[in-house]
Amino acid sequence: MTDTSASYSAASGPARPSILDHRLHWRVMLPVFLLLVALPLLARAMNEDFYIGVASRVLVFALAAASLNFILGFGGMVSFGHAAFMGLGAYTVGVLMQQGVASAWLAWPLAMLLGAGFALVVGAISLRTQGVYFIMITLAFAQMLYYLIMSFKALGGDDGLSLPARSQIGFGLDLGDDTTFYYVVLLLVTLCVLLMARMLNARFGHVLQAIKENEIRMSAIGFPVYRYKLAAFTIAGAFAGLAGAMLANQSSFVGPGMLQWTQSGILLIMVILGGVGHLYGGLLGAAVFLLLEEVLAAYTMHWQLGLGAVLLIVVLVAPNGLLSLRRGMWRKP
């Protein structure tokens, strides 16, 4: 498809027809998707409705982590403020709901728009810097938003806002029902992930990945590097905003804790855990992280010890995340 003469060093994993293309791996992902579709039925059959809510939460964080991986894994931009875009989306839903506007058709796109808008501003300034300094500036902007929201009494301040109901999408569907909500989330997350894959396999994604490998060369060839990176950063902000909007609905609550730096850190950990630069890295990382949390917390109150131990083992034995282990697990494409 494309010329692969762009220099690369960190490319790991099996050789692909083009190193810049990311296949969807239908043979593995279709069964996973079908399993996700069947999940509410299975949960109900086992009388464990509780897991439908857990699964919605996992999907929402999977989208947020995937959007971070989109700029981190493929654009080399380590955003340490990704929770801010998510939190902004959540507060969009919260504030609209407080004003009596419950339509998801208004709230969710607006959440994406605000996420994208804030990302555009943050990116426009932060992308002038490199490396650790980029990490710190994105963190700074996220912290500014965190403190601003926390000190606004109208936004509930420290206590946050409790949402009386979930957003409404019409068509006779009630998002207040956990199963309906789960299917809507599953549909949206799937669409977003397919959209991200499509973008990565398009010219835009190829340029982005080439910029990650060698920014100076790309700029010398004549690509507007800054604009490409800024566009990707903005798109990621939009996806994170949508994830935030769904999270607000899932937990019926928005609070400043959603924007704190530890949240941004956890999103980063999810991506690193799953595999930076793997198409499904963010999704897998979010799922493993949240499910580990869930399972360990059920057994012991000291679950953080177990979670920390698992993360440490993964970082020591699987340098590039869990998905880098897959080589032996299924045949090379």
Partner 1 sequence: MNAILILEQSLNGLQFGLMLFLLAAGLTLVFGIMDMINLAHGSLYMIGAYMVATFSQATGSFWLGLGLGVLATVVVGVLLECTILRRLYHRDHLSQVMGTFAILLMSNEVVRIIWGAQPLMLNPPAALAGPVELMSGFSYPAYRLLIIGVGLLVALLLWLLVTRTRFGMQVRAGAANREMATAMGANVRRLFTLVFALGAALCAVAGGMLGPLLAVQVGMGESILILAFVVIVIGGIGSIRGALLGALLVGVVDTAGRTLVPLLFEKTMGPDVAANAGPAVASILIYVLMAAVLFYKPQGLFPAHD
- The partner residues of 254 in beta bridges, in order of sequence, read 161
**# of chain residues touching partner 1 (CB under 8 A):** 42
Check binding of 155 to partner 1 (CB under 8 A): no
Q: Residues in the chain, how many?
A: 333
> What φ, ψ does residue 72 adopt, rounded to 5°?
-80, -50
Distance CA 333, CA 331 (A): 6
Q: Shortest Cβ distance from residue 303 to partner 1 (Å)? A: 8
Check binding of 129 to partner 1 (CB under 8 A): yes
User: Smaller CB distance to partner 1: residue 273 or 323?
Assistant: 273
Check binding of 136 to partner 1 (CB under 8 A): yes
**One character per residue 284-303, x = contact with partner 1 (rule: CB under 8 A):** ------------------x-
- Find the binder of partner 1 among 28, 151, 174, 202 (CB under 8 A): 151
Cβ atoms of 260 and 272 within 8 Å: the answer is no
Binding to partner 1, residues 10-49 (CB under 8 A): none
Check binding of 304 to partner 1 (CB under 8 A): yes
User: How many angstroms from the chain centroid is the CA of residue 89?
Assistant: 13
- Find the binder of partner 1 among 68, 150, 240, 284 (CB under 8 A): 150
User: In 177-212, which positions are buried (b, 16+ CB within 10 angstroms) versus exposed (e)?
Assistant: ebbbbbbbbbebbbebbeebbebbbeeebbbbbbbb
Distance CA 189, CA 182 (A): 10
Residue 287 in tokens:
């799922």
Q: Shortest Cβ distance from residue 20 to partner 1 (Å)? A: 21
Check binding of 117 to partner 1 (CB under 8 A): no
Residue 120 in tokens:
């555009």
User: Smaller CB distance to partner 1: residue 56 or 263?
Assistant: 263
The region of 18-26, 136-144, 197-205, 231-239 touching partner 1 under the rule CB under 8 A is 136-144
User: Smaller CB distance to partner 1: residue 128 or 227?
Assistant: 128
Q: Looking at 78-177, list the stretches that DSSP marks H as alpha helix, in order from N- to C-terminal side.
A: 82-98, 104-126, 131-151
Residue showing tokens 């403020």: 81
Residue 227 in tokens:
């604009």
Residue 79 in tokens:
């955003």
Nearest to 16 by CA among 166, 146, 174, 209: 209
User: Smaller CB distance to partner 1: residue 153 or 331?
Assistant: 153
3-state class of 139 per DSSP? Answer: helix
- Find the binder of partner 1 among 32, 124, 132, 191 (CB under 8 A): 132
Check binding of 70 to partner 1 (CB under 8 A): no
Q: Shortest Cβ distance from residue 261 to partner 1 (Å)? A: 6
- Find the binder of partner 1 among 17, 30, 105, 130 (CB under 8 A): 130
Q: How many CA atoms lie within 13 A of 332 on its CB side?
A: 6
Check binding of 317 to partner 1 (CB under 8 A): no
- Find the binder of partner 1 among 26, 319, 329, 331 (CB under 8 A): 319
DSSP class of residue 280? T
Residue 322 in tokens:
């869990």
Check binding of 199 to partner 1 (CB under 8 A): no
Check binding of 230 to partner 1 (CB under 8 A): no
Check binding of 147 to partner 1 (CB under 8 A): yes
Q: Shortest Cβ distance from residue 245 to partner 1 (Å)? A: 24
> What φ, ψ does residue 227 adopt, rounded to 5°?
-70, -40
By the criterion CB under 8 A, which residues form the site for partner 1? 72, 78, 125, 128-130, 132-133, 136-137, 139-141, 143-144, 147-148, 150-153, 261-262, 265, 268-269, 272-273, 276, 302, 304-305, 307-312, 314-316, 319
